[in-house]
Structure 1
Amino acid sequence: MIRMLLRVLGHEYARPVRRTVALMTTTAVVEGLSYALLVPVLRALFGSTPADAGPWLIAFGAVVAVYAALRFRSDLSGFRVGTTLLRGMYHRLGGHLARLPIGWYDARRVGQVSVLASEGVLQAMSVIAHLLAPFVSACVTPLTIVVVMLAVNAQMGLAALVAVPVVAGIQIWTGRSMAATDTERAERGQEATGRVIEYLQAQPVLRAGGRTAERFRLLDDSLREVQRASRRTVLSALSGTLGLTLTVQAMFTVLLVLGAYLALGGGIGAAEVLTILVLAARCADPLLSLSDIGGRVRGARSELARLDTVLRTEPLPEAPEPIQPVGHDLEFASVAFRHGDRTVIDEVSLSVPEGQRLAVVGPSGAGKSTLLQLLARFYDVAAGAVRVGGVDVRSIDAEVLMAQIAIVFQDVYLFDGTIEENVRLGRPDADDAEVRAAASAARLDEVIERLPGGWAANVGEGGALLSGGERQRVSIARALLKNAPIVLLDEVTSALDPVNEAAVHEGIERLMAGRTVVMVAHRLRTVQRADRIVFLDGGRIVAEGSHDELLRRGGRYADFWNISLAPAHTQP
């Protein structure tokens, strides 16, 4: 468990964790040894001079005080180290997730990571703060007490020692039998979480289609599976709990019978028998708590294993000696990219000189957005190279590459905060004048003026409190504030009304001015002013040239252009 914890966190946390474990172990040993002083106390109390018990009681009180001080220090150390580990785990997990390929984030994994990053991390990191001290105490204190028993009376000590491998065997067997049910319960829980999120997000579609009752059944089925998996987990733990309880009770009964037999035969005094029975009773409580503590530790270990799996996922490789790009021209050199068994981009070669605009058009699924993602290195190519400023993007430091690029997506995601906070994401150190200028250039100031809170208006989770056009203006203002030399535009006006489309177009024109631009568009009117247009189909370039050249040649682009004009011609 500790080895896995250190592997997940990194060995820079090894020293405080080991120091805390050593302190907890020492505390448990001192607790067990303190009970050894009960032997002279009870001997004196049952002897001819009970007053002789006084010094031993004082010594017992002193040892208990030492134990209390050690327990306070070990618990405090556990809380402090646990807090440090929690912070370190969030930083490491967040940093690692930021370096994973975008393709890793499918719908299933998003649900898993959301559960893992909330409940999973807290449960895994609670081991040091809440579970480790009682677990160490439940294991070490009874062993120390058994050693004390052996010192008091070898026969009864050996009888107690027999229970040690039995208890250990029960714990190991219970852990193995519960491994499968724990995994199943976690999987069912993640699936149920995904169903809940799906149900909440799909409310408009479900209500419009009158399918809410059916979706409730799907959600209920998922929750029933969680219930069944939880029941199987409880039943798997029940046998271990009963076995442990019967073992502890049997040990106490054997010691009671053996003590009575030895006392009647004169082999041991009544004080020694009573002392051993008291010690055995003190063993019972921590041993019986092993069932509960062991289950919680196994749960934390399962979360650690899932964290370990995520952290072992290979991120995009980083160049050992990054190269600084010179200039802002772009190039695709015989690029191929595959998603699973499907070839998305196939032998694409094209270049965009610095300061020019390239438009990428084509049918849905042609690979247009993938070209932008390869430029931003959301994925690595399967073959060929993508170059920025003459340098392969795989040889550029990730932060340097992203500093060169501003991206405006079709689906804009805004963080739950104010409009100003979302705009400042483009360049957090920008002054107020620069932020206002970017907002004005994106015509976001029109939105801010009509919102009750102005700049301090909250946008809601994902920007839910703003319309699509308003979110797009925030995204453009953010890109303008970043002031990157390369701009990537992905279908930024495809779902906007005419008023917002005009405002967004104005902002986009200001964003593109003087920059190297690659734009993807379905509405062909938005690409007429591009220096060059490539028509992509099936991951291949089937036509390229200027707008006028492509129209003169005919072919796929001309067909698309004519189709885009058809609705306007048929209107009365």
Structure 2
Amino acid sequence: MIRTLIALIPSDRRGKVGIYAMLTLVSVVVRAAGTVLLIPLVAALFSDVPRDALPWLGWLTAATVIGWIVDTATSRLGFDLGFALLDHTQHDVADRLPGIRMDWLGGDGGANTANARQAIAATGPELVGMVVNLLTPLIGAILLPAAIALALLLISVPLGLAALAGVVILLGAFWASGRLSRKADAVADETNRAFTERIIEFARTQQALRAARRVEPARSMVGDALAAQHGASMRLLLMQVPGQLLFSLASQLALLILAGMATFLTVRGTLGVPEAIAMIVVAARYLEPFTSLSELAPAIESTRATLGRIRAVLDAPVMATGTAALSTNTAPRIEFSGVTFGYGTTPVLKDVSFVLEPGGTTAIVGPSGSGKSTILSLIAGLHQPSSGRVLIDGVDTAQMDAETRRATTSVVFQHPYLFDGTIRDNILVGDPGADAEQLAAAARLARVDELTGRLPDGDGAKVGEAGTALSGGERQRVSIARALVKPAPVLLVDEATSALDTENEAAVVDALTADERSRTRVIVAHRLASIRHADRVLFLDGGQIVEDGSIDELLAAHGRFDEFWNQQREAADWQITH
């Protein structure tokens, strides 16, 4: 944990880590000296010349003052390192996320996405206080008893050895109890994550659940997740109790060893009674850090988990990038050359090759799961092929710099996500530098102007979280305006009309075809109305292109596309009769 924490501190502050460690060590030595000085002080007070205690009192006072000064300096430096850790970590995580490979984010059953979300949400006070409120007490709790034991060796070797034995016993018990707790925490974290995801899902799907009369949590997957969480919590408690009992037993054993040795030496006459009395205070001071260590255990495990999540995000695999850029911003030529790709061990595309000419509109059609959306993801640079190459104007997307890759494509997703802001804000996400004329043109093409014209606040109207204040068709129009305002030479459309009514579907298709910007367009669709303006159709099945040509050519071939076309036409003619 300490190594991870230090690794997260920015390099320009690493030099201060050494100073911090030195100050912490000095603080431990001074506090240990102050504790052991009680023995000669008490012995002098009970001697024939009590005045002899004054020099020892002076040394004790000096140790106390020096300790206070060092602790103050350590705290200030700790806060400085804590704020540096906060700033550096939050910026690093935010900078890292856009480059992380999508297969990692979606992998491990959603755990990686949850880790990324929790890493971003790590609170400021938690990170800032990690050094001062946790690391400093932790180091002190581990080193101070050992320092006291070493100092006791100067007074009595048997007492020092007994104290060192107690340190070994207590640290061993702490390690064992921590290991038990971590095993239970791992299970609890997984069930807590699953429960949180199910609660969010339960809240978002209330419409469907109520329609199906499945609104009782106990009868849904929320109930299963809650039961799993309850079981994990019980196991966590059952595994924590033995650890706490073990540590408590070790503390009593360490006290017994130290007290027994002091008593034995006093009975034998090798340790004076005043020194033995002072040892009571020393023993209490010796055990106090271990009590603090026990109290810090939950915070230590929580911090270990937080640092682990942050480290996992920072160590996550990133998309390959290079320094290549496109020479122009006009509609490019897109080429797939022997592209194979899969999600995990599941193959999706198998040795796919095709060329899309500049400025053309290509429709990709095929059954669900055939790899249509995957092709768009590869063009957009959201994924990279397992083998083969994706070329845009002859430039391999894997060799593009990140900025070029993001600027090249504009995407309309099947399920658009709108940010909690105004309609204007959401459109400008596509191009924050767009002027009023460009904004109005994109809104007009996507027919967002019809929407804003009937709203009191116009394009300043709030869309709500995830766009919930708008209908599905209205959200899609805003999403299209966002894509159109972006000056990208490639426009990718993924099932943009699959869930829309006829009116909104017509508006979306018109918006995509009326855009006069020089672009190469690739459209994934099931519905014929969305592809009627396509220059070319690729029919995909089983991860391979089985038909390629214009709409008329494929219809004349009476193949898979012709079958698909006829099914669509027959479905369009269906009517409900009385």
CA contact (8 A) 2:509 2:529 kept: no
CA contact (8 A) 1:111 1:193 kept: no
SS of residue paired to 1:411: coil
SS of residue paired to 1:296: helix
SS of residue paired to 2:432: coil
Report the equivalent of 1:21.
21
Report the equivalent of 1:91.
91
1:143–1:473 distance in 2 versus 1, CA, 3 Å: same
1:257–1:100 distance in 2 versus 1, CA, 3 Å: closer
1:7–1:264 distance in 2 versus 1, CA, 3 Å: closer
1:290–1:485 distance in 2 versus 1, CA, 3 Å: same
**1:414-425 → structure 2 map (5 Å cutoff):** 414-425=418-429
User: Which of 443, 461, 464 is residue 465 of structure 2 equivalent to?
Assistant: 461
Matched, 1:504 2:508: yes
SS of residue paired to 1:430: coil
Deviation at 1:220, TM superposition (A): 3.5
Matched, 1:101 2:79: no
Deviation at 1:453, TM superposition (A): 4.2
User: Which of 322, 336, 341 is residue 324 of structure 2 equivalent to?
Assistant: 322
Report the equivalent of 2:201.
198
Report the equivalent of 2:67.
67
- Read off the aligned partner of 2:150 and give its amino acid letter: V
1:54–1:7 distance in 2 versus 1, CA, 3 Å: closer
SS of residue paired to 1:212: coil
Matched, 1:174 2:180: no
Deviates more, 1:54-63 or 1:463-472: 54-63
Deviates more, 1:336-345 or 1:470-479: 336-345
User: Aligned equivalents of 1:422 and 1:61: distance in 2?
Assistant: 65
SS of residue paired to 1:337: strand
Scaled by the length of structure 1, what TM-score is found? 0.90
1:474–1:69 distance in 2 versus 1, CA, 3 Å: farther
CA contact (8 A) 2:424 2:460 kept: yes
CA contact (8 A) 2:547 2:554 kept: yes
Report the equivalent of 1:429.
433
Percent identity at matched positions?
36
User: Aligned equivalents of 1:300 and 1:18: distance in 2?
Assistant: 22
Deviation at 1:357, TM superposition (A): 1.3
- Read off the aligned partner of 1:147 and give its amino acid letter: L
SS of residue paired to 2:216: helix
1:471–1:345 distance in 2 versus 1, CA, 3 Å: same
- Read off the aligned partner of 2:186 and give its amino acid letter: T
- Read off the aligned partner of 1:189 and give its amino acid letter: N
Unaligned ranges ≥5, structure 2: none
CA contact (8 A) 1:146 1:161 kept: yes
Report the equivalent of 2:411.
407
CA contact (8 A) 1:245 1:288 kept: no
Report the equivalent of 1:34.
34
What do residues 118-158 of structure 1 show as CA deviations (whole Å, max 9, x unaligned)? 27845688642421111111111212222232223333233
User: Aligned equivalents of 1:512 and 1:344: distance in 2?
Assistant: 34
CA contact (8 A) 1:115 1:190 kept: no
User: Which of 255, 273, 277 is residue 276 of structure 2 equivalent to?
Assistant: 273
User: Aligned equivalents of 1:483 and 1:570: distance in 2?
Assistant: 41
CA contact (8 A) 1:362 1:537 kept: yes
1:456–1:143 distance in 2 versus 1, CA, 3 Å: farther
SS of residue paired to 2:144: helix
SS of residue paired to 1:162: helix
**1:20-169 → structure 2 map (5 Å cutoff):** 20-50=20-50, 53-54=53-54, 56-106=56-106, 109-114=109-114, 117-118=117-118, 121=122, 127-169=130-172
Report the equivalent of 2:4.
4
- Read off the aligned partner of 1:234 and give its amino acid letter: L
SS of residue paired to 1:335: strand
Deviates more, 1:280-289 or 1:125-134: 125-134
What do residues 62-100 of structure 1 show as CA deviations (whole Å, max 9, x unaligned)? 432332232233233333323332333333333333223
User: Aligned equivalents of 1:437 and 1:10: distance in 2?
Assistant: 45
CA contact (8 A) 2:159 2:262 kept: yes
CA contact (8 A) 1:108 1:194 kept: no
1:537–1:495 distance in 2 versus 1, CA, 3 Å: same
Matched, 1:232 2:206: no
User: Aligned equivalents of 1:390 and 1:202: distance in 2?
Assistant: 45
**1:138-537 → structure 2 map (5 Å cutoff):** 138-213=141-216, 216=219, 218-263=221-266, 265-319=268-322, 321-322=323-324, 324=326, 328-511=332-515, 513-537=517-541
Unaligned ranges ≥5, structure 1: none
- Read off the aligned partner of 1:358 and give its amino acid letter: T
User: Aligned equivalents of 2:437 and 2:70: distance in 1?
Assistant: 58
CA contact (8 A) 1:534 1:543 kept: yes
CA contact (8 A) 2:324 2:395 kept: no
CA contact (8 A) 2:106 2:113 kept: no
**Alpha carbon RMSD of aligned pairs, Å?**
3.0
User: Aligned equivalents of 1:228 and 1:275: distance in 2?
Assistant: 49
CA contact (8 A) 1:544 1:550 kept: yes
Deviates more, 1:118-127 or 1:484-493: 118-127
Deviates more, 1:27-36 or 1:245-254: 245-254
